[in-house]
Amino acid sequence: MISGLALSAQRSSFITMTIHVRNLRKYYEVHRKEVGLSGSLRAFFKRRYETVKAVDDISFSIEPGEMVGFLGPNGAGKTTTLKVLSGLLFPSGGTAEVLGYTPFERRTPFLKQITLVMGQKQQLLWDLPAQETFEVNRVIYEVPESDYRRILKELTELLEIGDLLQKQVRKLSLGERMKCELAAALLHRPRILFLDEPTIGLDVTMQSRVREFVAEYNRRYEATVLLTSHYMADVTALCKRIIVINRGHLLYDGNLQTMIEQAAPHKLVKVTLSEPVARDVLQGYGIVERFDGLEADLLVGRAETTRVGARLLAELPVADVTIAEPPIEEIIGEVFAGNGRGET
């Protein structure tokens, strides 16, 4: 039994959390129609439904100012969770609290403190300059004119969009439009950013700029960020903590580096030789993943990498050697598949 003191401390910890999710569920009843004319006729008289568990009993909490990566394959339930947390969807069960509010109640004080940016959706008015949408948002969020001008100036400088504000949105490139989307979403200076694939479709340079902007916004305003992305560079650059879900279930919640160490017990040792050696020789140093005579990739146990690196340099004609983590995409894939030790 929890003592009164412990229960009080537990409640206090919940209050200090910006986001608190407990046993959250979101189920859908989906119509399944058989193929062909006969299937259409049967569906006309009697529809068949099945339950899809988009989010199934997940729990987590996020502290103020945290930047957390929210990962999972397509259909894992990431976007559904973000929509529940932003008040767009009513949960089927469990509870969700954001800044002390129940999201689906959509109270004005709550809505003024959050934003949801979806890389595949847009809020900018297509046929008007971006600044027209900014003005609309200023009115909707009741941002005082003086504050609006100051915030717009800051965002314009951070995102480097000064020459884009008067251009028709349809004439902006994808990267330019994404930067304007971010500015429009942040004009009311939200305390919580729900970012759903904010860099999707952008080139490498623009992805980097968006990441830098999100990091700077978090630093300046101590905003809480929950980020979904299929680009692992977004996550590794911004988030120390990750939450991994698949098929609506929570697989991992914790430190990114810890998960890497748990799911991938080996490091990748890349060796470039000045003269060829036999493949059998390299097998004495680790698992040979790739070998073409002069270049090899070896998998070596984490605790052995320093010793093996020294042996390679001392015993073989090595021109260059580097030690790195396996590709993060492969590690996350292992967790998705349930093969990593990070699974809960």
The answer to whether 221 touches 142, Cβ cutoff 8 Å, is no
Averaged confidence pLDDT in the chain: 86
CATH code, domain carrying 295: 3.30.70.980
pLDDT in tens, 128-167: 999 999 999 999 999 999 999 999 998 998 888 999 999 9
Given a cut of 80, whether residue 64 has pLDDT beyond it is: yes
Instruction: Look at the chain and report how many structural domains it folds into.
Output: 2
Instruction: Please state the φ and ψ torsions of residue 213, each to the nearest 5 degrees.
Output: -65, -45
Q: Are residues 195 and 59 in the same domain?
A: yes
The DSSP 8-state label assigned to residue 212 in this structure reads H
pLDDT category at 7 given cuts 50, 70, 90 is very low
Query: If you average pLDDT over residues 244-262, what whole number do you get?
Result: 89
Given a cut of 80, whether residue 344 has pLDDT beyond it is: no
Q: Is 114 helix (H, G, I), strand (E, B) or coil?
A: strand
The DSSP 8-state label assigned to residue 317 in this structure reads -
Q: Are residues 249 and 318 in the same domain?
A: no
Q: Are residues 114 and 97 in the same domain?
A: yes
> Does 190 map to a domain?
yes
Domain boundary among 208, 237, 259: 259
Q: Are residues 175 and 243 in the same domain?
A: yes
> Does 125 map to a domain?
yes
C-alpha distance from residue 237 to each of 66, 228, 240, 331 (Å)? 14, 13, 8, 16
> Does 158 map to a domain?
yes
Q: Are residues 166 and 311 in the same domain?
A: no
Q: Beta partners for 267?
A: 300
Q: Are residues 38 and 86 in the same domain?
A: yes
Query: If you average pLDDT over residues 271-298, what whole number do you get?
Result: 90
Cα dihedral sign, 305-307-309-312: negative
**Dihedral in degrees, nearest 10, Cα atoms 139, 145, 147, 151:** 70
Q: Are residues 296 and 174 in the same domain?
A: no
Ramachandran assignment for 317, one of left (phi > 0), alpha (psi -120 to 50 degrees), beta (any other): beta
Residue 144, number of CB atoms within 10 A of its CB: 9
Residue 57, number of CB atoms within 10 A of its CB: 14
Q: Are residues 279 and 207 in the same domain?
A: no
Q: Are residues 39 and 178 in the same domain?
A: yes
Q: How far apart are CA 254 and CA 238, in angstroms?
A: 14
Q: Is 255 exposed, middle or buried (0-12, 13-18, 19+ CB in 10 A)?
A: middle
Q: Are residues 175 and 276 in the same domain?
A: no
Q: Is 258 exposed, middle or buried (0-12, 13-18, 19+ CB in 10 A)?
A: middle
Q: Which residues fall within 8 angstroms of residue 289, CB to CB, at 6 or more apart?
A: 268, 297, 298, 299
Q: What percent of the chain has pLDDT over 70?
A: 92
The DSSP 8-state label assigned to residue 327 in this structure reads P
Query: What is the domain range of residue 182?
Result: 4-259
Q: How far apart are CA 202 and CA 196, in angstroms?
A: 14
Q: Are residues 172 and 130 in the same domain?
A: yes
pLDDT category at 340 given cuts 50, 70, 90 is very low
> Does 331 map to a domain?
no
Q: How far apart are CA 120 and CA 130, in angstroms?
A: 17
CATH code, domain carrying 109: 3.40.50.300
- Planar angle of CA 327, 330, 335, nearest 5 degrees: 130
Question: In this predicted model, which residue has the larger pLDDT, 339 or 79?
Answer: 79
Q: Are residues 79 and 156 in the same domain?
A: yes
pLDDT in tens, 172-181: 988 888 889 9
